[in-house]
């Protein structure tokens, strides 16, 4: 059980880092982010997440550490896919490079706020209705199917009616981009929250894994911008991860309602270690396969 003091200290430190990033974005709102700067801050934020997970057993336990890394990796991978959609949206709306800093950070902060509201709702549903895992699992499998069908076409994002109406009324590009990112974030949040609850039911781990996965995405955007055409199998890898977690949740739901075997076949119990290994393997294979398949693109550029 995480003490209130630990909660306050953790959220306080993470809030300070987020506010620091906001201040940095405001100060540099009229400057482009260089590749070197983006790489430095991306490595810094990944390093802080790894360090947090490494020292986590000091105030929780080893099981929480495994849950954090599994949750953080899954959420980070989903965030990378989110970033690619951001790249398409901001390119489609022709947002100036120097203005993208603030739009991105405000969009990411909006995501944190959304997930801050959705996490307690998810935890409350799970605590009251254990069978909700059937619904979550089925939703993740459906999402995995939709992701697997994606073509990876750069022009895949189509502006909705809200964005079209805002354009017709002459609303600023900055505001339109912020609204478009906000709506996209809501959709991605509906995928990510069930996914992490399939790996851990600990609200502290769910919260910290989500925040660490979102921190530094502004810098990651500028780092990944050139890789949009190269990570062609990212959606396929994410679909495998979501499908795996969806099946795991359904197995857990079956055990939760007392069904331990079907037609004489035992319902598997998927360990967290196996889950973590599967997530890492899917991400590595997806990345290597994508970069190998697109070597010609890199050479041409």
* Least confident range of 35-39, 221-225, 261-265: 221-225
Which of the pair, 81 or 265, is modelled with greater confidence?
A: 265
Give me the pLDDT at residue 160, please: 64
Give me the pLDDT at residue 295, please: 79
Give me the pLDDT at residue 38, please: 84
Give me the pLDDT at residue 297, please: 60
Give me the pLDDT at residue 224, please: 79
Tokens 């697109």 correspond to what residue?
A: 294
Give alpha helix (H) positions in the chain. 4-27, 35-55, 62-92, 97-128, 132-149, 161-168, 173-197, 203-214, 217-224, 234-256, 272-293, 295-300
Answer whether residue 213 shows pLDDT above 70: yes
Answer whether residue 26 shows pLDDT above 60: yes
Phi-psi domain of 74 (left: phi exceeds 0; alpha: psi -120 through 50; beta: other): alpha
Tokens 């989110």 correspond to what residue?
A: 82
Task: Indicate the angle between helix axes 97-128 and 62-92, nearest 10 degrees.
Answer: 140
Distance, in Å, from the CA atom of 126 to the CA atom of 124, rounded to the nearest integer, reads: 5
Coil, strand, or helix at residue 265? strand
**Structural domain harbouring 158:** 4-300
Instruction: Give 67's pLDDT tier (boundaries 50, 70, 90).
Output: very high
Distance, in Å, from the CA atom of 37 to the CA atom of 99, rounded to the nearest integer, reads: 17
Give me the pLDDT at residue 68, please: 94
Q: Which helix (H) or strand (E) holds 261?
A: strand 261-262
Instruction: For the chain, give the mean pLDDT.
Output: 82
When divided into structural domains, the chain yields a total of: 1
CA distances from 119 to 153, 168, 176, 241, 270 (A): 32, 36, 27, 20, 23
Q: What DSSP character marks residue 263? A: T
Answer for the pair 78, 195: CB distance below 8 angstroms, yes or no: yes
Tokens 């398949």 correspond to what residue?
A: 293
The number of residues in the chain equals 301
Give me the pLDDT at residue 94, please: 79
The angle subtended at Cα 259 by Cα 253 and Cα 262, nearest 5°, is 115
Reported as a single tens digit per residue, the pLDDT across 147-202 is 887 655 544 556 667 777 887 887 888 788 888 887 777 777 777 888 888 888 88
Reported as a single tens digit per residue, the pLDDT across 226-257 is 676 777 888 888 899 989 998 998 998 888 88
The angle subtended at Cα 76 by Cα 80 and Cα 101, nearest 5°, is 55
Answer for the pair 45, 216: CB distance below 8 angstroms, yes or no: yes
Which of the pair, 104 or 66, is modelled with greater confidence?
A: 66
Mean pLDDT over 99-106 rounds to 76
Tokens 């949009």 correspond to what residue?
A: 228
> In percent, how much of the chain has pLDDT > 70?
92
Distance, in Å, from the CA atom of 252 to the CA atom of 143, rounded to the nearest integer, reads: 19
Answer whether residue 69 shows pLDDT above 90: yes
């Amino acid at each position: 059980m995480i003490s209130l003091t630990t909660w306050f200290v953790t959220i306080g430190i993470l809030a300070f880092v987020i506010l620091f990033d906001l201040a940095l974005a405001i100060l540099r709102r009229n400057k482009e982010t260089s590749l070197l700067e983006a790489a430095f801050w991306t490595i810094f934020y990944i390093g802080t997440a790894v360090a947090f997970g490494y020292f986590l057993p000091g105030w929780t336990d080893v099981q929480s550490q495994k849950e954090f890394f599994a949750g953080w990796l899954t959420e980070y991978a989903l965030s990378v896919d989110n970033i690619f959609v951001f790249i398409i949206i901001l390119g489609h709306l022709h947002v100036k490079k120097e203005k993208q800093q603030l739009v991105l950070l405000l969009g990411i902060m909006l995501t944190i706020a959304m997930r801050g509201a959705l996490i307690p709702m998810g935890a409350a549903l799970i605590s009251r209705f254990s069978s909700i895992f059937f619904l979550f699992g089925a939703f993740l499998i459906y999402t995995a199917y939709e992701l697997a069908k994606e073509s990876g076409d750069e022009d895949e994002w189509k502006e909705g009616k809200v964005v079209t109406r805002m354009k017709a009324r002459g609303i600023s590009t900055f505001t339109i981009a912020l609204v478009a990112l906000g709506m996209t974030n809501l959709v991605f949040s509906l995928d990510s929250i069930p996914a992490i609850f399939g790996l851990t039911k600990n609200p502290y781990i769910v919260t910290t894994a989500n925040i660490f996965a979102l921190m530094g995405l502004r810098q990651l955007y500028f780092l990944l911008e050139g890789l949009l055409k190269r990570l062609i199998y990212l959606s396929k890898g994410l679909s495998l991860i979501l499908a795996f977690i969806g099946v795991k949740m359904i197995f857990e739901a079956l055990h939760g309602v007392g069904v331990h075997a079907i037609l004489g076949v035992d319902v598997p119990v998927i360990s967290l270690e196996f889950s973590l290994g599967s997530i890492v393997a899917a991400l590595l294979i997806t990345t290597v396969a994508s970069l190998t398949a697109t070597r010609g693109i890199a050479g041409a550029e």
